Amino acid sequence: MDTHSQNLDLLRQLANGTDPRNGLPLPTGDACQAPEVIRALFHAIRLLEKHKDKPAAVQAGKPWDEEEEQALLQRYDAGDAVTAIARAHGRTTGAIRARLAQCGRL
């Protein structure tokens, strides 16, 4: 089981009132039993589930080389969507926009 799935499982257990360490019900008065905490846990679960299948930005934080920058500019100039470019380059949409701005395209 990957870390993402493990985190989701842990949050689900807490939101359902179970101690993930031992599978026993959480004691009355435990902070995770408070309605506002339960709502926050279910909200976090929904967000994690929504992003579960998003591909990782494997190039995030890595320096741009000339070849990648030229490929970025060609795709952008050809009218490709920023999200498609980001996916192809393994970078975030924010990184693509920042690089386009740095290159004078935005």
B/e letters for 9-26, b = 16+ CB within 10 Å, e = fewer, are eebbbbbeebebeeeeeb
What's the rounded mean pLDDT across residues 75-100? 91
The per-residue pLDDT for 19 is: 94
| Distance of alpha carbon 105 from alpha carbon 91, whole angstroms | 18
- Written as one string, the DSSP assignment of 44-66 is HHHHHHHTTTSPP-TTTTPPPPH
pLDDT at position 24 over 60: yes
Task: Give the pair of three-digit tokens for residue 92.
Answer: 């975030």
The per-residue pLDDT for 101 is: 93
pLDDT at position 3 over 80: no
